[in-house]
Chains A and B, each alone.
Chain A
Amino acid sequence: QLVLTQSPSASASLGASVKLTCSLSSGHSDYAIAWHQQQPEKGPRYLMKVNSDGSHSKGDGIPDRLSGSSSGAERYLTISSLQSEDEADYYCQTWGTDIQVFGGGTKLTVL
């Protein structure tokens, strides 16, 4: 079964960096995923697609301080030079034949 696992919460200081993790279930380590950001009281926003080889492609207007990477069944979103507006929920998403799967989301707090 295709499942994505995320830590419920993360925190980091203003101006620092943080690395969020999305884990693919066993047998699905070659799947690509997408990262989405949801700021408080707003709809989700597409950030980037991350492939199994670590390459990534960003959505329109996504700044360079956001990047993606991979290692095995793990997919990462790294945010550097943290700003207050980065405080949000972050969801990973993947897909199978005619289905979409979301991780449970990580709530990022900027201290």
Chain B
Amino acid sequence: QVQLVESGGGVVQPGRSLRLSCAASGFTFSSYGMHWVRQAPGKGLEWVAVIWYDGSRKNVVDSVKGRFTISRDNSKNTLSLQMNSLRAEDTAVYYCARVKGTATGQIDYWGQGTLVTVSS
């Protein structure tokens, strides 16, 4: 069955960096677009980043442009999110999510999430 397992979350000081990973299994990872979605404490879901099935196209939400980078390694079935210059407002649970398609479309599977806390 489809499994998405995030890792890499933790407590980090403002201005520092963190790298999240998502290990995918149970499907042909290289055939699907992938996203990162976050949820601040007590808030709703916020889309963060997308990467096409082959890594040829990427996009991030304006609030993280220039700070966050999404990438994937199809040989290792792994999705990553490099987060630099972290701010308090980046504190959230980060979910990786699979799209039913090569890039865009409905999210059909979610990971369990990893908590990132940005605090001094």
Q: Please, how many residues of chain B have a CB less than 8 angstroms from a CB on the other chain?
A: 26
Chain A residues with CB under 8 A of B37: 100, 102
Q: Is A45 an interface residue (CB 8 A)?
A: yes
With A43-B112, A43-B113 as known contacts, state yes or no: A97 contacts B104, CB within 8 Å: yes
Instruction: Determine how close the nearest CB of chain B comes to the CB of A89; give it in whole angstroms.
Output: 8
Q: Is A34 an interface residue (CB 8 A)?
A: yes
Contact between chains at A45 and B110 (CB < 8 Å): yes
Instruction: Determine how close the nearest CB of chain A comes to the CB of B38; give it in whole angstroms.
Output: 11
Instruction: Determine how close the nearest CB of chain A comes to the CB of B107; give it in whole angstroms.
Output: 6
Stretch of B8-16, B17-25, B40-48, B78-86 that contacts chain A: B40-48
Instruction: Determine how close the nearest CB of chain A comes to the CB of B108; give it in whole angstroms.
Output: 5
A interface SS class: strand
Among B44, B95, B111, the residue within 8 A (CB) of A105 is: B44
Chain B residues with CB under 8 A of A102: 37, 44-47
Q: Is B59 an interface residue (CB 8 A)?
A: yes
Contact between chains at B35 and A44 (CB < 8 Å): no
Q: Is B103 an interface residue (CB 8 A)?
A: yes
Centre residue among B45, B57, B58, B105 by max chain A CB count within 10 A? B45
Q: Is B50 an interface residue (CB 8 A)?
A: yes
Q: Across the interface, name the chain A residue whose C-beta is closest to B35.
A: A100
With A45-B110, A91-B45, A105-B45 as known contacts, state yes or no: A98 contacts B103, CB within 8 Å: yes
Q: Is B106 an interface residue (CB 8 A)?
A: yes
Contact between chains at B50 and A98 (CB < 8 Å): yes
Contact between chains at B44 and A91 (CB < 8 Å): yes
Chain B residues with CB under 8 A of A59: 108
28 A-B pairs with C-beta separation under 8 A: A34-B106, A36-B107, A36-B110, A38-B45, A43-B93, A43-B110, A44-B107, A44-B110, A46-B107, A46-B108, A46-B109, A59-B108, A89-B44, A91-B44, A95-B105, A97-B104, A98-B57, A98-B103, A99-B50, A99-B59, A99-B61, A100-B47, A100-B50, A101-B47, A102-B37, A102-B45, A103-B44, A105-B45
